[in-house]
Amino acid sequence: MLGGIDNGLFLQAFAGFLVFPIIIIFLRWAFPSKRDPNEKAIRKALKKELQQLRKK
């Protein structure tokens, strides 16, 4: 320890700052946004199909 600083804890916190943006990028890639045109079309088709099932 230098001057009362826990180096292991410091490095662990610093690694967290580096890993957190990677997790954010992965989650943005894995889950589409609501503004994605392809996903909008899929949701619209599902909604239309559900309405047709309800009419029967």
Long-range contacts of residues 36-40, Cβ cutoff 8 Å, at least 24 apart: none
**For the whole model, what pTM was predicted?**
0.49
Domain boundaries, the chain: 7-55
Q: What confidence score (pLDDT) does residue 7 get? A: 83
pLDDT tens digit sequence for 1-56: 456 778 888 899 899 999 999 999 999 888 877 777 888 888 899 999 999 999 87
> Given this model, what pLDDT does residue 49 score?
94
pLDDT given at position 38 = 83
Give the C-alpha separation, 43 to 16, whole Å: 36
Distances (CA, A) of 2 to 8, 15, 16, 47, 52: 11, 19, 21, 62, 70
Dist. CA 56–CA 52, nearest whole Å: 7
Residue 28 tokens, joined:
């943005």
